[in-house]
Structures are given as structure tokens and as C-alpha cells.
Amino acid sequence: MKAIGLGVTLALLALSLASLGIEARGEASFDDPAFQSPHGGQMRTAGPYRLELIANAGEIIVYVTDHGGRPVETAGGKGKAVIHTDGHGMTLPLGAVDGNVLKGKGRFKLKRSSVVYVMVDLRREKPHNATFRPLVAAPPGAPGKAKR
């Protein structure tokens, strides 16, 4: 009888989280108003951080903030972006450039099928990861709409 009660409790918890727009992968849905995009990129949660990805031809820019939207200093930090497109991948090192920004440059082309995995290591703690699909647009009118 206790096993049934526990199963029902877990199912209700999962439904409650789903109704809040929280996905199990740690990524917010595009319609979550808490994840507004100040620079026009996609926002994702990565541990204690919010990462905003701007992906242009040959350049990846990641803005790092805390969950309150306050900039997190990236000096001394590092990261990497792994860009996968149509079965081909490349790793782009990200370095701290100014304030709360990590940036990397390289030769890559993004397509609608591209997925960008970002890892940040800022405070000599375990690295935090987020997954982006930079050319997949958000629903019309949703915050965090992808920049094209």
C-alpha cells in the first residue's frame, strides 16, 4: 500500500513541475517569463547560473547571470561550446572577455538542426552545462526568442 502512495505522490510532483514549465533537463521552456533574454539569445539554466547564448557565424557569445538576472563575473573562468550539426561536431574554447561574458571564435556553420552544448567553469567548482538549439525559434511572442 505504501508503494502505491509513493508512486501517486511522485506522479503528482512530476505533474506539478510540468505545469510550472520546468523540464527535467534543467532547461526552461520558451514561455517561462522568468527567462527573458536581454541580448536576444536563448536562455538556459546551468546550475547556479543562467546562460544566454548568442551564436553568429564564426562566434559564440555566452552571457552569464545568476537566477536573479544579476551579471556573474567570468574573470578567471573558462568554458567550451560543442557544436553539433548533421553528425559533425567541433569544440570551441570559450574565454572570459569582459564582465559576465565568455566568447569563442572558430569556423563553423549553424543550421536549424544544430545543437550547441555549453559548459562553463567559473569558480573552480564542478562545471555546469546547458544545451541550446540556436536556430530553433521560440513560439511567436515568447520571451527568449532565438536571434537569427
What does the block give as the cell for 93?
574554447
Q: Is the C-alpha dihedral spanning 70, 120, 85, 27 positive or negative?
A: negative
pLDDT at 143 > cutoff 80: no
Inside any domain, residue 147: no
What CATH number should be reported for the domain holding residue 51? 2.60.40
Range with the lowest mean pLDDT among 35-44, 48-57, 85-94, 97-106?
Answer: 35-44
Decide if 16 is inside a domain.
Answer: yes
What does DSSP assign to residue 138? P
Q: What are the pLDDT digits (tens) for 39-74?
A: 889 999 999 999 999 998 799 999 999 998 999 999
Give me the sign of the Cα torsion angle 133, 50, 60, 78. negative
Residue 48 lies in a domain: yes
Q: Domain limits at 40?
A: 2-132
Please state the domain count of the chain: 1
Give the position of cell 567550451: 80
pLDDT of residue 134: 87
Per-residue confidence band for 4, with pLDDT thresholds at 50, 70 and 90 = low
3 pLDDT higher than 80: no
148 within some domain:
no
Residue 51, C-alpha cell as written in the block: 546562460
Predicted TM-score (pTM) of the model is: 0.72
More confident residue, 124 or 71: 71
Residues 131, 80: Cα–Cα separation, whole Å: 12
| Residue 45 lies inside a defined structural domain of this protein | yes
Asked if pLDDT for residue 2 goes beyond 80, the answer is no
User: What Cα–Cα distance (Å) separates residue 47 from each residue in 7, 119, 126?
Assistant: 27, 11, 10
**Which contiguous run of DSSP H or E holds residue 70?**
none
Rounded alpha-carbon distances, angstroms, from residue 77 to 8, 64, 94? 43, 11, 9
Cβ atoms of 58 and 83 closer than 8 Å:
no
